[in-house]
Structure 1
Amino acid sequence: MSDQLLPYLEAVYGLVNVGIFILYGFDKMQARREKWRISEKNLLIGSVFGPFGAFLAMQIFRHKTQKMKFSLLVPAIMIIHVILITLLLIKGW
């Protein structure tokens, strides 16, 4: 992969995680107000693309931490991302 492209990919990855963090925070705010919520399915789909933001939001906002599927899937997805990123770095990408 081009060294020129890598900073952009890192920025996009970081922004996606920030976006997912905000999404979880918004859903927590909506839950407190008893208003329209983001579906669990959509939160989990977002977690596939931004697991670090999802995990951090779960801890900071104390949101979805009692839901077994979130407590298991989000850390598992995060571990998969760590493995994939490590493999990419080892291969020189």
Structure 2
Amino acid sequence: MEWYMAIVNAVSFLIMGLDKQKARKGKWRIAERTIWLFALAGGAIGAAIGMYGFHHKTRHRLFRYGLPLLAIFDMLIYVILYQ
């Protein structure tokens, strides 16, 4: 389970960086649905770190508030499962 969490969060972080890079270059973007799917699959911490680290999607209220809340939820679940 630890490997899964590490991988899904790393991929979520990289997706945010890749989408930001594509946005800057005016290229075809990664769907927000894809970002949310990875976040809901346990990658909210990586997505939230990527969002703030890359300054990406920070103007979207759903991302600005939803990802951090989902990340807190993920952390709580992780702590409960691995005490």
Q: TM-score scaled by structure 1? A: 0.81
Q: Secondary structure at the match of 1:22?
A: helix
Listed one character per residue, the Cα deviations across residues 57-84 of structure 1 (whole Å, up to 9, x for unaligned) are: 1111000011000011101111111221
- Structure 2: stretches of 5+ with no match in the other structure: none
CA distance in structure 2 between the aligned counterparts of 1:68 and 1:18, rounded to whole angstroms: 23
Range 46-55 or range 23-32, more displaced: 46-55
Match of residue 6 from structure 1: none
Q: Which amino acid aligns with 1:38?
A: I
> Which residue pairs with 1:17 in the alignment?
9
Distance 2:4 2:78 in 1: 14
1:89, distance to aligned residue in structure 2 (A)? 2.5
Matched residue SS, 2:6:
helix
- Tell me which residue corresponds to 2:70: 77
RMSD: 1.1
Count of residues in Structure 1 that have an aligned counterpart in Structure 2: 82
- Aligned equivalent of 1:87: 80
Equivalent pairs: percent with the same residue? 32
Q: Which has the larger radius of gyration?
A: 1
